[in-house]
Amino acid sequence: MLIALRKGEPGNFTAPRMVHKPDWAYEIYFKRDPERTLAKYTGNPRFKPALASYSREELDALIKPWTERFTQHRLTGGWGTDDTHGTAEILMVVTEDEYRAIARTQGWGPVPYAIKLQFAAPLPFPSVADKVRPFIRYFAQADRSTGVQLTAAGSGRIFLKDGCIFVASGKSAPKLAFFHRETGVGTDGEGYLSLINRATASPTGRLGEEFTWAGPNATMDDWPSVRELRARCGPGELLNVGNPQSSVAFNARWKR
């Protein structure tokens, strides 16, 4: 039937959706006169007519100027469209407050009602806890929340030296460590300098331990945080360790 609908209802039929409540059925979406249109093709009660707001092509055209400006300002990690409900969802890598501030500066009006912005959650804990500031020369991290995360495993010892955080892996020379936005530095329950989860303040491992992380993760020389890191800690090679987790805890569980 879908072939017949696509052929017989161009510009009207948009997409089917399977539903499971109260019983399974297919909702068949049309932009115009859904009941009468569907009746031309089937009387099966498992197929139910539904009204669509936009076709996929119309949704793509609707979101294009917004995704272009969001991409230009590094505000989005991706987007998708739903041509049954007639909505588009854009994954934002900034909080709502950050977005509103940028939108005001750029003079952007409200997004169309069909576009839903999914904002990053605020991080209530600082990148560097007040009690450890005297020991940290600079903590380098992304200024956008983590979006799509590659999942190849990296590992190495992350440690503090002369106020700068390095990572040593294998026989290679230590590199300056760069972090995702969700990681900070503070102390654990026993007062040791530790990396923390900025959403919860829970420690993810002590500096000096072996860590693992998902990657590879990019850094760009023109990022302000990269330039500042090199100005504070030297011109060494960088390694983005993302949101690392101590290997100590994993090893301890493995041995039990």
Same domain, 114 and 149: no
Token duo for residue 154: 């990296």
194's enclosing H/E stretch is strand 193-197
* 69 part of a folded domain: yes
| DSSP-assigned letters across all residues of 201-237 | --EEEETTSEEEEEE-----TTSHHHHHHHHHH-S--
pLDDT the model gives residue 1: 86
C-alpha distance from residue 214 to each of 51, 125, 156, 218 (Å): 43, 22, 12, 12
Asked whether residue 199 is domain-assigned, the answer is yes
Q: What is the pLDDT of residue 148?
A: 87
The answer to whether residue 252 scores a pLDDT higher than 60 is no
Taking Cα atoms as reference points, which of 45, 46, 41 lies closest to residue 25? Answer: 46
For residue 74, give its domain range. 56-118
What does the mean pLDDT of the chain come to?
93
169 & 234 share domain:
yes
Phi-psi region of 242 (alpha: psi -120 to 50; beta: other; left: phi over 0): left
What pLDDT, in 10s, does the model give residues 158-182? 999 999 999 998 888 999 999 999 9
247 and 139 share one domain: yes
- Say if residue 149 is in the same domain as residue 231: yes
CB within 8 A of 23, min separation 6: which ones? none
- Other CB atoms within 10 A of residue 255 CB: 6
- 174 plus 86 within the same structural domain: no
Do 184 and 227 lie in a common domain? yes
| Mean pLDDT across 140-148 | 94
Q: How many structural domains is the chain composed of?
A: 3
Examine the domain organization and report whether 100 and 170 are in the same domain: no
pLDDT at 185 over 60: yes
Contacts of 130 by beta carbon, 8 Å cutoff, 6+ apart: none
| pLDDT at residue 250, rounded to an integer | 63
Whether residue 226 lies inside any domain: the answer is: yes
In a domain, 3, yes or no: no
pTM of the predicted model, to two decimals? 0.84
Assess whether pLDDT exceeds 70 at residue 117.
Answer: yes
Q: What's the confidence (pLDDT) of residue 56?
A: 87
Is 1 part of a structural domain of the chain?
no
- Whether residue 230 is predicted with pLDDT greater than 60 in this model: the reply is yes
pLDDT digits over 16-43, tens only? 999 998 899 999 999 999 999 999 999 9
- Residue 144 and residue 219 share a domain: yes
